[in-house]
Amino acid sequence: MTDKNDSNLSRRDLLRIGGLALLATGCSNYSNAQITPLPTTIRPIRESGMAHVIITADNPSLVRDRAHCTRCGQCHNYCYRSMTAHGFRSSEGRMSCIYCGQCSIQCKPRSITERSEIAEFQAALADPDKIVITTVAPAVRVALGEMFQMPPGSFVEDKTVAALKQLGCDYILDTTFGADLTIMEEASELLHHLERDSGSKYPLFTSCCPAWVRFAELFTPQLVPHISTTKSPILMQGASIKTYFAQQNGLDPKRIFNVAIAPCTAKKAEIKRPGSNTLTDQPGFEGLSEVDLVLTVRELGRLLQETNVDFPNLPNSSFDSLMGRGSGGAMAFGRSGGVMESALRTAYYLVNKENAPLQKDVEMRGEVRTVNWVNPMPFQLIAGVRQDTVDFGGRTIRVAVVETPGSLRGLLDAIEHDGERFDFVEVMACQGGCLGGGGQPYPEQLGDILELIYDRRDAVQLGVDGSAVRLSHENAEVALAYREFFGEPLGEKAKMLLHCR
Ligand code: SF4
pLDDT (tens place) for every residue of the chain, 501 residues total: 333 333 333 333 333 222 222 222 222 322 233 333 333 344 444 445 567 888 999 999 999 999 999 999 889 888 888 887 788 888 776 668 999 999 999 999 999 999 999 999 999 999 999 999 999 999 999 999 999 999 999 999 999 999 999 999 999 999 999 999 999 999 999 999 998 877 889 999 999 999 999 999 999 999 999 999 999 999 999 999 999 999 999 999 999 999 999 999 999 999 999 889 999 999 999 999 999 999 999 999 999 999 999 999 999 999 998 887 799 999 988 888 889 889 999 999 999 999 987 766 655 555 565 656 555 444 444 666 888 888 877 788 888 889 888 889 889 999 999 999 999 999 999 988 999 999 999 998 888 888 899 899 889 988 888 888 989 999 999 999 999 999 999 999 999 999 998
In short, whether 138's Cβ falls inside 6 Å of ligand 1 is: no
In short, whether 100's Cβ falls inside 6 Å of ligand 1 is: yes
Q: Vertex 19, ends 16 and 21: CA angle to 5°? A: 75
CB 487 within 8 A of CB 184: no
CB 381 within 8 A of CB 178: no
Nearest-atom index, ligand 1, CA of 267: 1
In short, whether 430's Cβ falls inside 6 Å of ligand 1 is: yes
Of 123, 130, 134, 137, nearest to 253 (Cα)?
130
Element (H, E) at 185: helix 176-196
> What is the rounded CA–CA span in Å between residue 267 and residue 238?
12
Protein residue whose Cα sits closest to atom 8 of ligand 1? 209
In short, whether 235's Cβ falls inside 6 Å of ligand 1 is: no
Main-chain dihedrals φ then ψ at residue 405, nearest 5 degrees? -60, -35
Each residue's pLDDT tens digit, 262-321: 999 999 999 999 889 999 999 999 999 999 999 999 999 999 999 999 999 999 999 998
CB 398 within 8 A of CB 374: no
Distance 437 CA to ligand 1 centre (A): 5
SS3 329: helix
In sequence order, the β-bridge partners of residue 382 are: 385
> What is the rounded CA–CA span in Å between residue 428 and residue 3?
22
In short, whether 187's Cβ falls inside 6 Å of ligand 1 is: no
CB 316 within 8 A of CB 309: no
- In order of 142, 224, 273, 472, the CA distances from 227 in angstroms are 29, 5, 16, 21
**This model's pTM is above 0.75:** yes
Nearest-atom index, ligand 1, CA of 232: 8
Nearest-atom index, ligand 1, CA of 434: 2
Element (H, E) at 45: helix 45-48
In short, whether 428's Cβ falls inside 6 Å of ligand 1 is: yes
Nearest-atom index, ligand 1, CA of 428: 5
128: left (phi over 0), alpha (psi -120 to 50) or beta: alpha
Distance 298 CA to ligand 1 centre (A): 15
In short, whether 433's Cβ falls inside 6 Å of ligand 1 is: yes
Could you give the count of Cα atoms lying within 13 Å of 7 in the half-sphere of its Cβ? 17
Protein residue whose Cα sits closest to atom 3 of ligand 1? 209
Distance 177 CA to ligand 1 centre (A): 18
In sequence order, the β-bridge partners of residue 112 are: 64
Could you give the count of Cα atoms lying within 13 Å of 378 in the half-sphere of its Cβ? 22
404: left (phi over 0), alpha (psi -120 to 50) or beta: left
In short, whether 227's Cβ falls inside 6 Å of ligand 1 is: no
One-letter identity of residue 47: E
Helices (H), 127-173: 157-167
